[in-house]
Chains A and B, each alone.
Chain A
Amino acid sequence: MADPLLEAKDLVKHYGSVEALRGASFTAFEGEVVSLIGDNGAGKSTLVKCLSGVERADSGTFTFGGREVDVDSPIAARALGIETVFQDLAVAPDLDPAANLYLGRELRKPGLLGLLGVLDKKEMRKRAIASFEDLGVTLQSIDVPIGSLSGGQRQSVAVARSVVWASKLVFMDEPTAALGVVQRERVLDVIRRVRDQGMAVVLISHNMPEVLAVSDRVEVLRLGRRVAKFRAADTTVEELVGAMTGALSQEDAG
């Protein structure tokens, strides 16, 4: 197999006296969906936060695209082509879907007006509609605050935002939680489409059938450490659960 796109080794992260990560490692390759699973408190969200620049690991190494990198802010992660869908969504409920899609990356009008910071709302709206269409996101209205949309549609916009801007890797922390069956399928379709474009997708999920359905590989985190790695095609739900609970472990996984 080729060199990994992302390789994190021996990450440690303390919150006060709580040790959320105790030498966790993680690997992701281009053009694959890799699921990160683990019981509550295993450190999945903390690991994603460290890798996406929201938090900073106390120690450990982070290699991306063959170079050791220091991702100390979400902006640094974005500069590397990494985007994240957070579990708590992190959208601005009072802004409309287009504004949320372009939040922090607003298009400005050409010329003097643009230099004054004037937004090109029309262009953003047009491109947002095109992006939502590309990704199969259907919204009943594009001109309402995102807070007035259903939970699933809000989630779709959050997913679309990260996918539209990512060029290398997308972290998705529970992107299908709180979704209905149809919308869940749609998000999984988006994940596959993104993978087929050659990007890496890191999926965090509690839903084992979903993990097996969409992933190429699965890595298991337990008590802040990687305890197992599987090829999705060669494993079963029982095996994954065994690894999560500690009933089963692989010596070489850490």
Chain B
Amino acid sequence: MTTPRRKPLLKRLAGTNTLWIALVLLLLIAVFGALRPDAVLTVFTLQTTLVETAVLLVLAVGMTFVIITSGIDLSVGSVLVFSGVTSAMTMNALSGGDATNAGWGVVVVGLLVALVSGAAWGILNGVLIAKAKIPPLIVTLGSFGAALGAGQLISNGSNVSGVPNVLSNNLGTGTTFGVPNLVILAAVITAAGALLLGTTRFGRHTYAIGSNEEAARRVGIAVTRHLMTVYLLAGVLAGLAGFMAMAYFRVASITGHDTDNLNAIAGVVLGGTSLFGGAGSIVGTIFGVFIPAVLRKGFVIVGVNVYWQPIAVAIVLVAAVWFDQSRRKARDQR
């Protein structure tokens, strides 16, 4: 028997959704760029698109892990709201009611509160899903409602202002060498997530559990603990996303995050991660998250009614899932 040689990279990539979705993204940019080269291919457009997508990208990184285990997390948008509210209110409380002029010490405490708030919801999701074996759809549908409700209870149903200027001016709207700081943070998180998923044992076990949970259990992988960690990760990232959104908008907002969960899921699935679990990548998620963003931006710039955007996203999304399904069916028939 001859030693099997690795197929060339391009050939391996051609079989995956990732390549196709990357091409779709490039095609969209090319089309919009050709229609309005003056407005589309500018630093300003690039910057705003990136900034507006940074928070969603952080949510989608956590969601990628969850979906690869063949789970789902509907609660991320609500956890984002909850974490922003708890963080902003803690910072206000530490500064005698208004944290606008507070220093870095208060901001660090605010960050910790946001992360811990996200972690708490993540652990709750994880325990109910992995230990109590309640389907992820039901558990996170519950925490989707509960986290938002809890956030509204704490803030009395209104947005929380008083976000420290040092936070908003640096993380929220600041730039480093022309790159928005918010984008740098999202890029670092995304890179870390990609390495964790693609190169480590944790990542390998994530795929294995999504591919065949029973097989993973039988080879001695601690499936329950692993699933709890994955939902914890998604929760912590949702907490961080809440902190980032608060820094950017200068307010911990109660509204406007109802469909964050669906946008994150759509981005992940568009990026070639299978809802059936076991397959997917963070690189794909990056492309997947930017397709809706580019569509929205592009429609605005070329003057198409922006209400077409969700319809266009829906078409691409359904096509992507259909493609994934038929690929699996072809494979499993053997």
Whether A90 and B200, one on each chain, are in contact in the complex, defined by CB atoms closer than 8 angstroms, is no
Which stretch, A18-26, A138-146, A196-204, A243-251, touches the partner chain B? Answer: A138-146
Contact of B212 (CB < 8 Å), options: A91, A104, A106, A139: A91
Query: Residues of B contacting A103 with CB < 8 Å?
Result: 204, 208, 215-216, 219, 221
Whether B215 and A99, one on each chain, are in contact in the complex, defined by CB atoms closer than 8 angstroms, is no
Whether A139 and B201, one on each chain, are in contact in the complex, defined by CB atoms closer than 8 angstroms, is no
Whether A92 and B334, one on each chain, are in contact in the complex, defined by CB atoms closer than 8 angstroms, is no
Using known A-B contacts A117-B200, A119-B201, A149-B334, determine if residue A143 contacts B219 with beta carbons closer than 8 Å: no
Closest chain B residue to A161 by CB distance? Answer: B219
- For chain B, the count of residues having a C-beta within 8 Å of the partner chain is 31
Q: Does B38 contact A (CB under 8 A)?
A: no
Closest chain B residue to A150 by CB distance? Answer: B334
Q: How far is the CA of A106 from the CA of B219 in the complex (A)?
A: 11
Query: Residues of B contacting A138 with CB < 8 Å?
Result: 1
Using known A-B contacts A92-B216, A94-B210, determine if residue A99 contacts B6 with beta carbons closer than 8 Å: no
| Shortest Cβ gap from A79 to chain B (Å) | 10
| Shortest Cβ gap from B215 to chain A (Å) | 4
Whether A95 and B207, one on each chain, are in contact in the complex, defined by CB atoms closer than 8 angstroms, is yes
| Shortest Cβ gap from A49 to chain B (Å) | 10
The interface bits of chain B over 264-304 (1 if a CB of A lies within 8 angstroms of the residue's CB, else 0) are 00000000001001110000000000000000000000000
The interface bits of chain A over 125-143 (1 if a CB of B lies within 8 angstroms of the residue's CB, else 0) are 0000100010000111111
Q: Does B159 contact A (CB under 8 A)?
A: no
Whether A74 and B219, one on each chain, are in contact in the complex, defined by CB atoms closer than 8 angstroms, is yes
Whether A99 and B332, one on each chain, are in contact in the complex, defined by CB atoms closer than 8 angstroms, is no
Whether B199 and A93, one on each chain, are in contact in the complex, defined by CB atoms closer than 8 angstroms, is no
B-binding residues in A (CB < 8 A): 54, 73-75, 78, 84, 86, 88-95, 99, 103-106, 108, 116-119, 121, 129, 133, 138-143, 145, 147-151
A-binding residues in B (CB < 8 A): 1, 3-4, 6-7, 12, 199-202, 204, 207-208, 210-212, 214-221, 274, 277-279, 331-332, 334
